[in-house]
Structure 1
Amino acid sequence: MNNAQEARRILRAHRYGALSTLSKKFDGYPFGSITPYLTDHDGSLLILISTLAEHTKNIQNDPRVSLITHDQRDPHIQTQGRVTVVGDAQPEPEREKAGQRYLRYFPEAQTYFAMHDFSFYRIRPVAIRYIGGFGRIHWVNMNNYAVADAEAFVQQEDALLAEVNARSSNALCRLLQQRHGISAMEAHAVGIDCDGLDVYHAEQTWRLDFPETAGIESITESLAQLLTATP
């Protein structure tokens, strides 16, 4: 696995980051805010923000942003993996389509989504800085970061989720115990992408990575291997 794939997996595994925008009010000084985000199939980041928010005003004035994320549950900040995305934030035109996926991950955002002053913006990366730990510091090759089958995953995700959730609830609970030490009586998958799947339990989303990145033609096999794996 290359550092681009590792960086993408870290982004997919986490839900909040520090978003930095260029302040309109203070003449371009960096302005930081904590923002929920969702990594979409193509590796872009989707955020839902209010027109009243300072960072939204900044983005509308200058779309250049950066967002950094790390494992918020790990106290060893200096030695853990983290990723900084540098990119351009643009309004997402397909609000309903974006909302369908976003709200599976953030059901608590339904109230915000219903408000007309909240809109989706998509951060398209132009550069990514990946720190995998001590001595593992890289600027990511963006060609390696790109997902060739992204649109195919968009088209097939709902059907794949329906199949997994209809047949594999016990397997998801077993994997939560194995991977995260969580005892769960029920859980359901909310997202499937080339790197793995996301499982919702107890108001949190938990990441289950595939051993290797899957193409759309091999996704069924990758799911089967994950769900039937033994410790």
Structure 2
Amino acid sequence: MTDDPATPTGGVMNEAEKKKPDVLQATDDAARRQARGLLRLARHGALATLEPEDGHPLATRTAVATDIDGTPIILISRLSGHTAALAADPRCSLLVGEPGKGDPLAHPRMSVACRAVKAERGTELRERCKRRYLARNPKAELYAEFPDFDFFRLEVLRASLNGGFGKAYALTAGDLVLDEATCAPLVAREAGAVSHMNEDHGDAVKLYAEVLLKEPEGAWVLAGLDPEGADLRLGDRHARLWYDEHLDEGADMKGALVALAKKARSLIAGQDQA
């Protein structure tokens, strides 16, 4: 028996490991929100796979969307090297996060360890993946139904979030992805709600973007709804609106959207009176 501290894999730490400082911060709600936001807002990411011939890492850029629960969705051709790699070994990683001005390492990014699962043709899952993917990447409609293209869900295993200098977090799948029970009530209604908002309530969608999120004026559209918020798009620009309260099972999505529109109009009224 030993009193030496154990490693995460169950072994005993050596002297170097004992002296190594713990750079990880405790995962809190702010870190979870930032991590989920990085996934929800990602237009593209770096997908890393393992080449089947020799196991060498292969990285490529791929366009990204998310399923209702926050799971990343990709659309890739069977002619590409990473599709063959995923067929041989579904383990992969996805790096998301946009660099901005100055030092690119000063901006938040996240590496997500995943397992790729193909959405088979003819299934409701594939239709949902296709709809949500095209809502974020409309130009992909040109090739989405080509016979050699497939949609994959990158099922999250864990993630490493770097939120900036001194802000490193180790995240679980539960920190990033919503549970099935929470999402189930919205799965059947989300497509109709998105279409209804875009076709009949475009003024409300503009209010969400331009008043609540302070985004530039334009023809904003709703790209997706989920229990935590709404994704909006203006051309290649994307924005994320978080609900004031999480929509748990049985919650009123319509009521939440109406409340947000009222909130935006009240802000405009307050500005007019000032």
| TM-score for both structures, normalised by structure 1 | 0.88
Change (3 A) 1:4 1:206: closer
What residue in structure 1 maps to residue 166 of structure 2?
A: 135
Structure 1 residue 222 and structure 2 residue 250: aligned?
A: no
Alpha-carbon shift at residue 153 of structure 1 (Å) = 2.0
Structure 1 residue 8 and structure 2 residue 36: aligned?
A: yes
- Partners in 1 of 2:172 and 2:88 — Cα distance? 29
Greater mean deviation of Cα atoms: 171-180 or 127-136: 171-180
- Partners in 2 of 1:96 and 1:73 — Cα distance? 34
Specify which structure has the bigger relative contact order, considering alpha-carbon pairs within 8 angstroms and separated by 6 or more residues.
1
Q: In the alignment, is the contact (CA less than 8 A) between 1:161 and 1:190 conserved in 2?
A: yes
For structure 1, list consecutive stretches of 5 or more residues without a partner in the other structure: none
For structure 2, list consecutive stretches of 5 or more residues without a partner in the other structure: 1-28, 268-274
Secondary structure of the equivalent of 1:135? coil
Change (3 A) 1:23 1:108: same
Tell me which protein shows more strand as a share of its residues: 1
Structure 1 residue 86 and structure 2 residue 126: aligned?
A: no
What residue in structure 1 maps to residue 210 of structure 2?
A: 177
- Partners in 2 of 1:221 and 1:132 — Cα distance? 33
Query: Which of 23, 45, 59 is equivalent to 1:17?
Result: 45
Alpha-carbon shift at residue 143 of structure 1 (Å) = 2.8
Larger Rg over CA atoms: 2
| AA in 2 matched with 1:44 | T
Q: How does 1:1-231 map to 2 (within 5 A)?
A: 1-25=29-53, 27-72=54-99, 76-93=103-120, 94=123, 95-148=126-179, 149-178=182-211, 179-184=213-218, 186-216=219-249, 217-230=251-264, 231=267
| AA in 1 matched with 2:151 | F
Per-residue displacement from partner, 1:23-75 (whole Å, max 9, x unpaired)?
A: 124x1111110001111112221111000001111111111100011025555
- Identical amino acids, percent of aligned pairs: 27
Greater mean deviation of Cα atoms: 116-125 or 161-170: 161-170
Q: In the alignment, is the contact (CA less than 8 A) between 1:130 and 1:137 conserved in 2?
A: yes
Q: In the alignment, is the contact (CA less than 8 A) between 1:41 and 1:151 conserved in 2?
A: no
Secondary structure of the equivalent of 1:113? coil
Secondary structure of the equivalent of 2:163? strand
- Partners in 1 of 2:146 and 2:116 — Cα distance? 20
Secondary structure of the equivalent of 1:99? helix
User: What is the count of residue pairs matched by the alignment?
Assistant: 229
Change (3 A) 1:181 1:205: closer
- Partners in 1 of 2:51 and 2:148 — Cα distance? 20
- Partners in 1 of 2:245 and 2:101 — Cα distance? 24
Q: CA RMSD in A?
A: 2.2
Q: In the alignment, is the contact (CA less than 8 A) between 2:99 and 2:107 conserved in 1?
A: no
Greater mean deviation of Cα atoms: 211-220 or 148-157: 211-220
- Partners in 2 of 1:55 and 1:91 — Cα distance? 13
- Partners in 2 of 1:59 and 1:141 — Cα distance? 22
What residue in structure 1 maps to residue 4 of structure 2?
A: none
